[in-house]
Structure 1
Amino acid sequence: MTNGATGKIDFNADIGESFAGYELGLDSEIVKYITSANIATGFHAGDPDWMAKTVALAIDNQVGIGAHPAYPDLAGFGRRNMDLTPDEVHNAVTYQVGALSAFAPGRKLQHVKPHGALYNTAVRDAAVAEAIVSAVKAFDPNLIHVVLAGSQWEEIARAQGVRVARECYADRAVTAEGTLVPRSQPGAVVHDPDEVVARSLKLATEGKVTAVDGTEIDFSADSICLHGDTAGAVELAAAVRSSLESAGVEITPMNKLVAGG
């Protein structure tokens, strides 16, 4: 059973992806509808000035602050895989989480959610997942680890005794195995607003999702993610939140859903 089936789920989005003089996304609008923010930490997007601004924006809107570490891949927006050793992954995550925490009140973050290729690699590569989990745990054992629901990454995190938020996606297609369809493949991103809303409702109230091959699979989650760079993201966020609340689902920060802390 999902938290949504019991009436509560977190709603997160990736924001803070502007860089220097280039403002990307409508962060000041989308933040009004979410409960948790994954803030870029400089390796795929963002910089110190935008990190500071985005943390302040999250605070002003009472949104949970999370680090969104990535592979060091500005040119590829962190979406290209990199052959890093587990130690290099551990250090890269530590560096980025530390950077964002320096801007947070009391140097405390709510969660860590890896970005792009680093996230997808953690789903299929146990060594990378172990490196991420160990880095976040060593930095702050109270941090919530946002992981793809039902993945081996979730199992690895739970085995380490850390706080875990299982994540699903409003606007990303999944395979019958429950993994995200690679962005290089057609249909990986769901653009139809009605379909995004319907998928979100099904995830939150039934704990199920329809995979790309048409099969319905179980997908119990604590948090739904909507990408801030998806076309019409603000309108989508408003529609998803409104429909969830209309269905009796309480949008709740993950810090209040995940035990511990």
Structure 2
Amino acid sequence: MSLNSMDSDVFLSMSSSDDSFHSTSFLPLDKTLDSCFSDCLKNLNVIHINAQSIPAHYPDMLASFDSRNIHAILVSESWLKTCLPSTSYSLPGFRLIRNDRVGKGGGGVAIYLRSYIPFTVISMSSQPPLPDAAEHLLVEVLISHYPKILLGVFYCPPYVSDYFRSFESLLEKEVPLYSHSIIFGDFNTCLLKNDYRSKKFLTTVESCNLSVLPLAATHYSPGCTPSLLDLIMVS
């Protein structure tokens, strides 16, 4: 996803359904990302991954995310722990900002942000996680040509059935303070379904003056119905 620095009211999105993705999908991920963002050199370029363990996939991340066109990598399910130093999982040119899950395995969120981009941590979910809240990390970033931007990543474990109240409260508190908000995450709420969770999620987001960018299914598994759990919201 790119935020256009030439026109602060324009957002561009890239999903797996875009022609630009399919035309390069046979390439390694680093080449695919270079191709996708090659025309966005003056933009703020942000990507999201559901890592399911940065330590387990660190060599792949080193090989995949070396593009100079990427400014922030938002990570759900980082699986980092306080005993694991950030220096062991650094990416060249990036600063690693973490909110590790404490008290149980898995979880956690993180942001790799270009080291030259000033930032302030605005909000972190408590650790150990509360039983009715999604894990999150919100930072304020400063980019030339822009007012300050709210950048955030979330992870909602599947066993958290109702995180909407705390989610809405957080958005209502922070989003109005920024001209631009960019929020990614795995919310374990499938927007391809017309059920209570999807309706509640959309209502919550819209009440906070955010929009969910249209995406195709983000997960396919043999014999299973495709799902759309990884979402992008922007002001």
TM-score range, shorter chain: 0.3 to 0.5
Normalized against structure 2, the TM-score is what?
0.42
Higher relative contact order (CA 8 A, sep 6+): 1
Q: Which has the higher strand share?
A: 2
Q: Which has the higher helix share?
A: 1
